[in-house]
């Protein structure tokens, strides 16, 4: 079955005119010439024009009939008050596309972009790229051949079809792939990471960072690089001219009460004791830029409610104020918490979580990325060298020993990349002549082992207290969690409640008369629903 070719395009009010009488046959006219192409028979032409161009449209239709009798011309009147107004032109062509009945099973569609204003050409491109028009683009041009004999002059010109499926253009596809690789490398600061999970996450972030301004949630342990990655995303958007404001970063764990409201949303004069003047707040400071809220799970419920309104409506009330202000920013949030669990416990608003959970990326910790330790080791050495003004390198055996330990099951890397950076900085600082030797590596490994042993002991104590309290443990402040874990651990080491009381209150008991240490400890444990028997029996 032969498919029919349908062309959609504007009448060229200047180029298609061509002059009067026989003059018009001596000049190239794009719409007429398109219907004369031997390799592109046009079966139907949808000719768009306004009412002022009816006479020209009739003349062009007659001329096409004389040179291409098989071409059926449909005259389509579209009224444009200002053909250079982008919004008006796009709306008119969008309405045309939505109302047109496309028969893609039997017809191929082309959009002629040579005629019409530059605004119309841009709109055709956008509508075709977005597939509102299931078409390819066609452009025409006058013939480059010159003839002395006017009769022999080729007035048909030439045409070329442009398919917006760029994968068909090898050179363009290769260039786009190269640019994507450069962007991914930029997000990773040029570190040749090898971890497949991390590389997949970064590849997806590369697309989202430049295609969407919706909130992004970065989830991962402390030190996994959430803050660093958020700044690189901002810099990437800045390079693409997609943001024009600042990168504003705040750790929500440092915000409490009135100060949290004031820091984020600003305040008016007299909003609270000490508010002697107005404060704009961080949300307004991030206008037209990026706001990175690290540890967003630590925000109070009131701040969460105000943040939701600011993200959805771009408007909010400063603390103590009754007049709304606005700020248009992209939100990147970071957390090491399981926000789904916190939502179920009522500690994080479900509606805010739904709003920031559109794009969620989980960043694995360094201990899960053993294959990336070597490339990050080189990165940290180069960074230290730039900061200190001198290059530092490992001896071969020293490097081998450090990498072997750093990638072993013994290596905890509880602080993730911050801990690796600190480790490299210590060794580089101690390196005489810019060379890290085996002795420096051995001392550093001993230092890390000691630090991790203390961390492991604290983690075990915390796990013990969590086991006793169950879900109630997560409802405690971090201060109470750590204190209770230490008290439970001390109780485990003692043979009686009295012995535990004497050891826990070893200073205060000497400063008070007739102090009952056991009773003090019993009352403390009762605050959490615990007793000595329950702890002793485990």
Q: Give DSSP secondary structure letters for 131-172.
A: TSS--EEEEEE------SSGGG---S-EEEEE-S-GGG-HHH
Q: Which residues contact 158 (CB under 8 A, 6 or more apart)?
A: 37, 140, 141, 142, 143
- Average pLDDT of every residue of the chain: 85
Distances (CA, A) of 146 to 24, 26, 32, 33, 143: 17, 13, 20, 17, 8
The residue among 36, 43, 42 whose CA lies nearest residue 67 is 36
Instruction: Assign domain 4-164 to a CATH class.
Output: alpha beta
Distances (CA, A) of 220 to 229, 288, 350, 361: 12, 27, 20, 9
User: What are the domain boundaries of the chain?
Assistant: 4-164, 174-362, 366-454, 476-536
What is the pLDDT, as a whole number, of residue 35? Answer: 94
Task: Say whether 366-454 and 174-362 share the same fold.
Answer: no
What is the pLDDT, as a whole number, of residue 150? Answer: 45
List pLDDT tens digits, range 123-143.
Answer: 998 888 878 888 999 999 998
**In whole angstroms, what is the distance from residue 334 CA to residue 340 CA?**
14
Ranges of residues in the chain with a pLDDT under 50 are 147-152, 166
The DSSP annotation for 370-433 comes to GGGHHHHHHHHHHHHHHHHTS--EE-HHHHHHHHHHHTSTT---TTHHHHHHHHHHHHHHH-GG
Place of tokens 């060379």: 435
The residue among 360, 243, 244 whose CA lies nearest residue 296 is 360
As given in the structure block, the two tokens for residue 483 are: 């204190």
The CATH architecture to which 366-454 belongs is: Orthogonal Bundle (1.10)
What is the pLDDT, as a whole number, of residue 149? Answer: 45
DSSP class of 490: H
DSSP class of 250: E
The CATH code of domain 174-362 reads 3.40.50.300
As given in the structure block, the two tokens for residue 412 are: 């905890």
249 within 8 A of 294, measured Cβ to Cβ: yes
What is the pLDDT, as a whole number, of residue 475? Answer: 79
pTM assigned to the model: 0.60
What is the pLDDT, as a whole number, of residue 469? Answer: 84
List pLDDT tens digits, range 321-366.
Answer: 888 899 999 999 999 988 998 899 888 999 999 999 999 999 888 8
């Amino acid at each position: 079955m032969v498919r029919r070719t349908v062309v959609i395009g504007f009448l060229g009010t200047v180029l298609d005119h061509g002059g009067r009488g026989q003059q018009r046959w001596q000049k190239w006219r794009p719409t007429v010439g398109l219907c004369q192409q031997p390799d592109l028979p046009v079966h139907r032409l949808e000719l768009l024009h306004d009412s002022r161009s009816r006479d020209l449209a009739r003349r062009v239709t007659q001329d096409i009939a004389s040179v291409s009798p098989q071409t059926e011309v449909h005259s389509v009147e579209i009224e444009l008050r200002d053909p250079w107004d982008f919004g008006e032109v796009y709306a008119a062509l969008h309405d045309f596309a939505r109302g047109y009945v496309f028969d893609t099973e039997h017809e191929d569609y082309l959009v002629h972009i040579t005629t019409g204003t530059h605004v119309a050409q841009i709109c055709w491109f956008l509508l075709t790229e977005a597939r509102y028009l299931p078409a390819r683009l066609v452009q025409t041009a006058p013939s480059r051949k010159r003839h002395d004999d006017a009769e022999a002059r080729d007035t048909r010109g030439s045409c070329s079809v442009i398919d917006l499926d760029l994968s068909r253009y090898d050179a363009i596809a290769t260039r786009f792939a190269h640019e994507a690789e450069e962007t991914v490398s930029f997000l990773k600061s040029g570190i040749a990471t090898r971890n497949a999970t991390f590389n997949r996450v970064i590849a997806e972030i590369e697309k989202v960072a430049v295609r969407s301004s919706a909130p992004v949630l970065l989830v991962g342990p402390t030190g996994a690089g959430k803050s660093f990655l958020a700044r690189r995303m901002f810099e990437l958007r800045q390079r693409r001219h997609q943001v024009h404001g600042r990168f504003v970063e705040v750790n929500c764990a440092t915000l409490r009460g009135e100060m949290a409201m004031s820091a984020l949303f600003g305040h008016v004069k007299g909003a609270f004791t000490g508010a002697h003047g107005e404060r704009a707040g961080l949300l307004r400071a991030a206008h037209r830029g990026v706001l990175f809220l690290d540890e967003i799970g630590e925000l109070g419920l009131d701040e969460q409610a105000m943040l939701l309104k600011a993200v959805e409506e771009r408007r909010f009330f400063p603390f103590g104020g009754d007049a709304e202000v606005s700020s248009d920013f992209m939100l990147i949030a970071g957390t090491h918490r399981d926000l789904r669990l916190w939502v179920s416990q009522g500690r994080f608003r479900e509606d805010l979580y739904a709003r920031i959970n559109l794009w969620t990326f989980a960043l694995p910790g360094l201990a899960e990325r053993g294959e990336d330790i070597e490339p990050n080791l080189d990165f940290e050495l180069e960074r230290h060298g730039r900061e200190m003004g001198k290059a530092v390198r490992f001896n071969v055996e020293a490097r081998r020993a450090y990498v072997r330990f750093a990638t072993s099951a013994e290596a905890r890397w509880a602080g993730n990349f911050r801990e690796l950076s600190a480790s490299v900085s210590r060794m580089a600082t101690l390196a005489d002549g810019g060379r890290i030797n085996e002795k420096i590596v051995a001392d550093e490994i001993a230092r890390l082992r000691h630090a991790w042993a203390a961390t492991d002991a604290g983690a075990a104590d915390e796990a013990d207290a969590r086991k006793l309290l169950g879900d109630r443990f997560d409802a405690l402040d971090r201060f109470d969690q750590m204190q209770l874990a230490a008290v439970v651990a001390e109780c485990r080491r003692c043979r009686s409640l009295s012995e535990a009381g004497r050891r826990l209150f070893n200073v205060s008991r000497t400063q008070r008369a007739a102090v009952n240490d056991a009773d003090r400890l019993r009352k403390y444990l009762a605050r959490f629903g615990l007793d000595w028997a329950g702890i002793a029996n485990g």
